[in-house]
Amino acid sequence: MNKSLERHPLSRLLVSRQSAMLLAVSVMAALLSPCFAAYEQKPDPAGIATGDKTTAVDAGGNAFAVPEPTDKNAPDYTKNKKDFDDYQAQAAKEPLAVKLADSVGHIRIATNFAWTLNTGYLVLFMQAGFALLTCGLVRKKNAGHLMMLNFAAYVFAFLAYYAVGYAFQFGAVAVNAAPGNLGGVPTLNHFLIGSGQWGFLGGKGFFLTGPAYDAGSNCLMLFEVVFMETAGYIIVGSICERITFWGFLLCELFIGALLYPIFGCWVWGGGWLSQAGASMNLGHGYVDFAGSTVVHAIGGFAAMALAMILGPRLGKYGKDGKPRAFPAHNLVYVVIGTFILLFGWMGFNPGSTLGATDLRISVVAVNTNLAAVAGSATALFFWYCMFGKPDITMACNGMLAGLVAITAPCAFVSPTSAVTIGILAGLLVCGGVLFNERVTKIDDPCGAISVHGFCGWLGAVCVGIFADGTYGSGWNGIGAATYLGNAGQGVTGLLHGDTRQFFCQLAGATLCAIWAFGATYLVFSTVNKIKSMRVPPEVERDGLDIPEFGMSAYPEDAVVTAD
Amino acid sequence: MKRIDAIIRPQSQEQVKEHLAAVGVHGLTVTEVRGFGRQKGHTEVYRGTEYSVDFVAKVMLTVIVQDERVHDIVEAIMAGARTGKMGDGKIFVTPLDEVFRIRTGESGESAV
């Protein structure tokens, strides 16, 4: 995702063109914050000061305006000073051009605002898709309960993210946490825990106050909160039909306030994983374009921990340990839900450029679709070969698996690689569902662990394999001028000659799985010991609709408890 | 021949089916029914207004057996359907005059 620091033309401009060297300068500046004050920008709640001549850039991201170099001891000072003087002389000759550039810069930021907000609305609509998909996949007697979980997830996780989550994730890059595409000037100056290249937790902008009360920050907040909601929804698919409502609300608050924002800070908020390229020479650092791990694997592995804590649904495994099928109660919901998710993903991935002025969005959109259909076709044929008939619910899971896996690499790979990734994901999701059903015996009613957990992990690793170097030059501050000896070389994978990137992806994705599973297991196995998060057996047998909420999704079928 | 109708909780039907299979029942008919007995209905609140669910959903299992097997079958149904709480249901046993198998035209006990 394009929230990394030196990636943005504006910050590249302000921090100078030699970004590797200047990253070091900014780290020094972070340590000496009085020196750093010059880079800070006042919050702009009205949006009238966001976007001026400094944000007017050409197609290559080169800025029109040249900033005045401030550090006289920097090696490039003489050259930068000359560039600045030339620009000043030119500007004095053509004042109208400078005024025009102010306008162009503002419109560029406005275009990116419109893109980011609208794609954010598409991601918001994915919640409807999740609700339909998970509801369709469970038994009729729990349909109302599923709808309530899906609805309450949005409400409570949103509030948690507003209160502290956003600050933990992006507060490190305050004062204005918005990336360059949204007119912000991110810095690495405000970690609550850690500093510079080794930041672990952001620390500004709680309750969207202070520096976060800013037009650019709020644009980012809207886009990010719906991503967090996606991670929050994923767990529903694994814990449904047996979790109590209060237990579920605790899970949502935990994900919105802590689990998601902390890992999000490490990867998208300027944290230590994103800086692994600069600090440990691991390629471009850990790269996850739109959240295969940051969103999906976090949700998927948290779901795995919760499903293990809760145990399988009553009757899922017979006395002989053999799994029993609990067929989906409404395939129509399943298919419509999946298509809504596919549609929403057109915001999820292309929107993650955070700017329509980044024309890679078309490749991202096509890659996303290709992986989706390849994953679906693979799952369909896999099931056909294994069990004699294609299974519509697995074809839908295969489509989602392809989408989850392409989410991290979508901007960095060719369409051919996208198809390959989709096929790998389609195979992995089928294997994962059978593995959980028959071997680990973790009861996962909607396949969320396989779709989001396993395929999320795969997606981030695929960046390290298939990234072809055509996009992402300067990502996380690495290789803005040249990378691997080529000018303009972007994020590169194993197949195109960057082994270190592959190791970084493998380690980062695995760390994500460990973090999500470990933290969730630790917290909720403790909660579960204090008070069981599972409904009593008789409630589970009758269906959760009436006992938990007093109403059934299909009242004419109401099965009422006897006592 | 006897006809056994057992009205039980819907969620008990799998267990009852297993118990019946264990005593050698090869066929049965399930009907979704609703009604009330001593347990009566149930009151819920929908958007602030109370409403009663007067008829509770149950399933009715129908099994046709030879006279001497009635005891075993009734025991099997009770074992599968009993939770000890109100609403476990009832079993009715009635005499049956005749049975025909449509495919072959057989009648009597050989058609059961």
CA distance A142 to A391: 22
Question: B41 and chain A: CB distance < 8 Å anywhere?
Answer: yes
Least confident of A223-227, A283-287, A551-555: A551-555
pLDDT category of residue B111 using cuts at 50, 70 and 90 = confident
User: If you measure CA to CA, which chain B residue comes closest to A553?
Assistant: B46
Q: Is the pLDDT of residue A557 over 80?
A: no
The pLDDT > 90 percentage for chain B reads: 51
Q: Please, are residues A44 and A50 in contact by the beta-carbon 8 Å criterion?
A: yes
Cβ of A562 and B86 within 8 Å?
yes
Cβ of B44 and A315 within 8 Å?
no
- Which two tokens mark A153? 């997830």
As a whole number, mean pLDDT of residues A306-328 equals 91
The string of pLDDT tens digits covering residues A27-69 is 444 444 433 343 456 788 888 888 888 888 887 777 888 888 8
Q: H/E element holding B32? A: strand B29-35
Contacts of B44 in chain A (CB under 8 A): 546, 550-551, 560
Residue ranges of alpha helices (H) inside A388-469 are: 392-407, 415-435, 448, 455-466
Per-residue buried b or exposed e for A191-200, using 16+ beta carbons within 10 Å of the residue's own CB: bbebbbbebb
CA distance A561 to A547: 8
Q: Is the pLDDT of residue A345 over 80?
A: yes
pLDDT of residue A41: 63
CA distance A429 to A459: 12
Cβ of B39 and A562 within 8 Å?
yes
pLDDT of residue A242: 95
Q: Is the pLDDT of residue A327 over 60?
A: yes
What's the whole-number average pLDDT of chain A?
88
The pTM for the full model equals 0.85
Test mutation, B19, B38, B42, chain A, max A CBs within 10 A: B42
As a whole number, mean pLDDT of residues A396-418 equals 97
pLDDT of residue B110: 84
The pLDDT > 90 percentage for chain A reads: 64
Question: B35 and chain A: CB distance < 8 Å anywhere?
Answer: no
Which range, A275-289, A418-432, B33-47, is most confident? A418-432
As a whole number, mean pLDDT of residues A80-85 equals 89
Q: Is the pLDDT of residue A413 over 90?
A: yes
| CA of B107 vs chain A CAs: smallest distance (Å) | 38
Q: Which of helix, strand or coil describes residue B105?
A: coil
pLDDT category of residue B36 using cuts at 50, 70 and 90 = confident
Pick the CATH number of A106-549 from 3.90.870.10, 1.20.1600.10, 3.40.50.720, 1.10.3430.10: 1.10.3430.10
CA distance A216 to A168: 17
Q: List residues in chain A touching B: CB distance below 8 A.
A: 315, 538, 541-542, 546, 550-551, 557-563
Cα dihedral angle (A143, A147, A149, A153), rounded to 10 degrees?
Answer: 160
The string of pLDDT tens digits covering residues A357-366 is 899 999 999 9
Contacts of A542 in chain B (CB under 8 A): 11
CA proximity to A330, closest of A148, A153, A131: A131
Cβ of B87 and A562 within 8 Å?
yes
Strand partners, A487: A482
List Cα–Cα distances, A534 to A200, A308, A326, A393, in angstroms: 34, 12, 19, 26
Q: Is the pLDDT of residue B61 over 90?
A: yes
Per-residue buried b or exposed e for A237-273, using 16+ beta carbons within 10 Å of the residue's own CB: bbbbbbbbeebbbbbbbbbbbbbbbbbbbbbbbbbbb
pLDDT of residue A32: 43
The pLDDT > 70 percentage for chain A reads: 90
Question: B45 and chain A: CB distance < 8 Å anywhere?
Answer: yes
Please report where in the chains the tokens 């909607």 appear, as a residue: A446
Q: What is the 3-state secondary structure (H, E, C) of A404-427?
A: HHHHCCCCCCCHHHHHHHHHHHHH
pLDDT of residue B109: 83
pLDDT of residue A16: 42
Q: Is the pLDDT of residue A290 over 80?
A: yes
The string of pLDDT tens digits covering residues A307-317 is 999 999 998 99
pLDDT category of residue A23 using cuts at 50, 70 and 90 = low
pLDDT of residue A34: 37
The minimal CB distance from B56 to the residues A315, A551, A560 is found for A560
CA distance B100 to A36: 95
pLDDT category of residue A10 using cuts at 50, 70 and 90 = very low
pLDDT of residue A168: 93
The minimal CB distance from A559 to the residues B45, B57, B85 is found for B57
Q: Please, are residues A397 and A425 in contact by the beta-carbon 8 Å criterion?
A: no
pLDDT of residue A11: 42
pLDDT category of residue A187 using cuts at 50, 70 and 90 = low
Cβ of A563 and B86 within 8 Å?
yes
Residues 6 or more apart whose Cβ sits within 8 Å of residue A55: A9, A10, A63, A105, A106, A108, A109, A180, A183
Amino acid identity, position A245: F
The minimal CB distance from B42 to the residues A538, A551, A560 is found for A560
CA distance A248 to A235: 9
Q: For CA atoms A24, A30, A35, A37, give the dihedral sign.
A: positive
A11 or A198, higher pLDDT: A198
Please report where in the chains the tokens 């059978």 appear, as a residue: A434
pLDDT of residue A319: 84
CA distance A454 to A458: 6
- Which two tokens mark A475? 């990502």
What's the whole-number average pLDDT of chain B?
88
CA proximity to A270, closest of A542, A536, A11: A11
Within chain A, all domains assigned CATH 1.10.3430.10 are found at 106-549
As a whole number, mean pLDDT of residues A146-158 equals 95
Cβ pairs bridging A and B (under 8 Å): 38
Angle at A216 (CA atoms; ends A211, A217), nearest 5 degrees: 45
Q: Is the pLDDT of residue A513 over 90?
A: yes
- Sorted by where each starts, the structural domains of chain B and their CATH numbers stand as 2-111 (3.30.70.120)
Test mutation, A241, A560, A563, chain B, max B CBs within 10 A: A560
Q: Which of helix, strand or coil describes residue A325?
A: coil
pLDDT of residue A473: 87
Cβ of A562 and B44 within 8 Å?
no
The minimal CB distance from A557 to the residues B11, B57, B88 is found for B57
pLDDT of residue A1: 45
Residues 6 or more apart whose Cβ sits within 8 Å of residue A187: A5, A26, A30, A36, A39, A40, A173, A174, A175
Q: Is the pLDDT of residue A188 over 70?
A: no
